[in-house]
């Protein structure tokens, strides 16, 4: 199923993000993750993309399994930095061959080795796909409620976000954030700019102290005082920190759903047990909002 069609009738939607295991790890490990996530009735599962050859192939293989082995809707991530149009088309062709017609189209991070790239921005990739054989795919794009770390200002980033939607993105998935107020202000701004596509709010449960440092340095998410207090209080007690991290994510989700978010995209970190705990905590909320069963 095309995600644009799914999102036109399923609000709020719930999606899970998984990543391919490292090349030296058997691919079956992630299939155990998918089996666990399927029990939670997600509306779709997204599979991240690494630019390297084996990682790229694994994204296609896992997205295909999500769809063909588990009967779920799959979204394959795709980045274009350093790739030629032919390379991008090969991945799209492989996806199409497996019946996966949903792609999260991104630029990707600049490669350490640098070099020229045919595509400079995600909007170039989206425009390219919309012009060619794969034009009927449902395409998503990445959005940054606090602005992309490279952009001069959040306002400038919003201009480029609009370019991605104008180029043909059907829906957006946001970078993770810990302060819902930032997301609410972001939504007001993009709606006032005429960006009308559904937006999935990205939520990551923090399970250990190491993760917080990595998140802040990679994506620059701001840490609200309430969250900082919880994290520093339980820093030395891993189990308490994980429990508090899941509770914080659950609270964020309930607040986002009450506000009327189009959907929640949970960064599962390949931990179905964590996703399960969070989904169980919101099962009645989800049923109430879906007017019946989860995933309805």
- Give the catalytic positions in this structure: 17
Q: What angle do CA 123, 55, 212 make, to 5 degrees?
A: 75
Q: Determine which helix (DSSP H) or strand (DSSP E) holds 174, and give its type and residue range.
A: strand 171-174
* Nearest-approach distance from CB 60 to ligand FAD, in angstroms: 13
* Residue number, 30 or 241, with CB nearest to ligand FAD: 30
Q: DSSP class of residue 20?
A: P
Q: With both helix axes pointing from N to C terminus, report the angle between 238-259 and 180-192 in degrees, rounded to the nearest 10.
A: 30
Count CB-CB contacts under 10 A for residue 4. Answer: 17
User: Going by C-beta distance under 8 Å and a sequence separation of 6 or more, which residues neighbour residue 267?
Assistant: 17, 176, 202, 203, 204, 205
Q: Is 48 in the site for ligand FAD (CB under 6 A)?
A: yes
Q: DSSP class of residue 201?
A: E
Candidates 4, 11, 38, 121: give the one binding ligand FAD (CB under 6 A): 121
* Nearest-approach distance from CB 45 to ligand FAD, in angstroms: 13
Please say whether the beta carbons of 150 and 177 come within 8 A: no
Q: Is 160 in the site for ligand FAD (CB under 6 A)?
A: yes
Q: With both helix axes pointing from N to C terminus, report the angle between 283-290 and 238-259 in degrees, rounded to the nearest 10.
A: 20
Q: Determine which helix (DSSP H) or strand (DSSP E) holds 16, and give its type and residue range.
A: strand 13-18
* Residue number, 161 or 241, with CB nearest to ligand FAD: 161
Please say whether the beta carbons of 242 and 209 come within 8 A: no
Q: Is 83 in the site for ligand FAD (CB under 6 A)?
A: no
Q: Is 157 in the site for ligand FAD (CB under 6 A)?
A: yes
The residue assigned the tokens 């609270």 is: 251
**Binding segment (CB under 6 A) for ligand FAD, from list 4-12, 66-74, 156-164, 287-295:** 156-164
* Nearest-approach distance from CB 148 to ligand FAD, in angstroms: 3
Which x/- pattern, by CB under 6 A, does the window 162-201 give for ligand FAD? -xx--------x-x--------------------------
Size of site (CB under 6 A) for ligand FAD: 23
Beta strand 171-174 with 199-203 is parallel
Q: Is 49 in the site for ligand FAD (CB under 6 A)?
A: yes
* Residue number, 120 or 233, with CB nearest to ligand FAD: 120
Q: Which residues bind ligand FAD (CB under 6 A)?
A: 48-49, 77, 79, 106-109, 121-123, 142, 148, 150-151, 156-157, 160, 163-164, 173, 175, 202
């Amino acid at each position: 199923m095309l995600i644009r069609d799914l999102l036109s009738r399923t609000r709020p939607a719930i999606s899970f993000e998984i990543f391919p295991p490292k090349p030296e790890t058997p691919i079956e490990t992630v299939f155990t993750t998918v089996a666990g996530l399927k029990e939670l009735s997600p509306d779709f599962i997204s599979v991240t993309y690494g630019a390297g050859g084996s990682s790229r192939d694994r994204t296609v293989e896992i997205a295909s399994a999500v769809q063909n082995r588990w009967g779920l809707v799959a979204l394959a991530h795709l980045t274009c930095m350093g790739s030629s149009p032919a390379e991008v088309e090969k991945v799209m062709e492989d996806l199409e061959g497996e019946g996966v017609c949903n792609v999260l189209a991104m630029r990707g991070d600049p490669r350490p080795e640098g070099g020229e790239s045919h595509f400079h921005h995600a909007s170039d990739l989206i425009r390219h796909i919309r012009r060619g054989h794969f034009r009927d795919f449902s395409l998503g794009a990445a959005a940054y409620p606090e602005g992309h770390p490279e952009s001069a200002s959040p306002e400038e980033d919003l201009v480029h976000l609009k370019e991605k939607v104008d180029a043909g993105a059907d829906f957006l998935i946001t970078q993770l954030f810990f302060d819902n107020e930032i997301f609410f202000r972001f939504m007001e701004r993009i709606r006032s700019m005429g960006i009308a596509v559904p937006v999935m709010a990205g939520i990551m449960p923090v399970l250990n102290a190491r993760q917080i440092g990595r998140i802040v340095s990679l994506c620059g998410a701001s840490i609200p005082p309430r969250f900082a207090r919880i994290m520093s209080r339980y820093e030395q007690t891993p189990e308490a920190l994980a429990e508090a991290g899941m509770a914080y994510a659950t609270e964020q989700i309930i607040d986002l759903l009450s506000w009327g978010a189009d959907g929640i995209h949970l960064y599962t970190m390949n931990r179905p047990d964590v996703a399960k705990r969070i989904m169980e905590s919101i099962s009645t909320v989800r049923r109430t909002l879906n007017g019946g069963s989860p995933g309805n």
